[in-house]
Amino acid sequence: MSSKLKNRLELAGIYLIIIAMFVVIGYPLLWTIGLSLNPGTSLYGASMIPENWSFDHYKWLFLDPRSNYLTWYKNTLIVATATSLLSVVFVSLTAYAFSRYRFVGRKNGLYAFLLLQMFPVLMAMVALYILLNTVNLLDTLTGLIIIYAGGAIPMNAFLVKGYFDTIPRELDESAKIDGAGHFRILFTIMLPLAKPILAVVALFNFMAPFMDFILPRIILRSPENFTLALGLFNFVNDQFANNFTRFAAGAILIAIPIAAVFLFLQRYLISGLTAGATKG
């Protein structure tokens, strides 16, 4: 087989893979957009390209007094923003300690972080429920934020620690000679240089509350405290009002804040995604 034919076959294979991935990702997305523009509420009879399309479902979400969509959106933004910020703070402090300090249990602590990620979250749901009930944080956004922020520490701290390890220690030593303390080194040297991996941590932890259903389902009880995933589920769960088209409209709008944060952080993301966990 000639090299020219081989290159053409490889190129054709790459294009086939790209087309297949586009179908897998794009087809459900196009169906969701089309479903949100279909009249009525039924899933049956809806089409991906509706003939009599309208924005009535979007208007209902924002204008109808029976809709709690704006409340759910606000709750989710509060949880996502707080989780993202707290995760970056806690993960940065934890990763800096494991990267720059030598203390008893350091190596075992890193192994414990990896070990914690091997168990499914469902195993801890009962314990989390009892814990939040004990401290009177059940059915509160505060309790949900604490669980999200705490759960983000192990794996993210391991990744950020790997990134911190790539930063030369000579910078720390030079700063110490100039009289800088540990916190000043962290905030003026380490964190500015670690913006790529911190942007990854911030984005992933911002996205999590928008996508997660199980944890809010267990913790939250009052409709005014629902997040978007939990609130939208009621659109299709109610046996007397299976509003699949409204569900689709609400789901499409979830992408707006995630896309905004992604665009804001995109200059850091590419290098951040490839830089973590380079050293043990």
The residue extents of the domains of the chain are 3-54, 66-273
Contact indicator for 233, 214 with CB cutoff of 8 Å = no
- Total number of residues shown for the chain: 280
pLDDT at position 278 is 43
Contact indicator for 167, 194 with CB cutoff of 8 Å = yes
pLDDT at position 277 is 40
3-state secondary structure of 209: helix
Furthest-apart CA atoms within the chain: distance in Å: 73
Per-residue pLDDT of the chain (280 residues; tens, 9 = 90+): 677 778 888 888 999 999 998 888 888 888 888 888 888 766 666 667 777 788 888 888 888 887 889 999 999 999 999 999 999 999 999 999 888 888 888 888 888 877 877 777 778 888 889 999 999 999 999 999 999 998 888 889 888 998 888 888 888 888 888 888 888 888 888 888 888 889 989 999 999 999 899 899 999 989 899 999 998 888 777 655 667 888 888 889 998 898 888 888 887 766 555 544 444 4
This prediction's pTM: 0.84
DSSP code string of 124-187? GHHHHHHHHHHTT-TTSHHHHHHHHHHHTHHHHHHHHHHHHHTS-HHHHHHHHHTT--HHHHII
pLDDT at position 143 is 93
pLDDT at position 271 is 58
Locate tokens 């896309």: which residue?
A: 259
**Architecture field, domain 66-273:** Orthogonal Bundle (1.10)
pLDDT at position 238 is 65
User: Could you tell me which of 217, 214, 206 has the C-alpha nearest to residue 87?
Assistant: 206
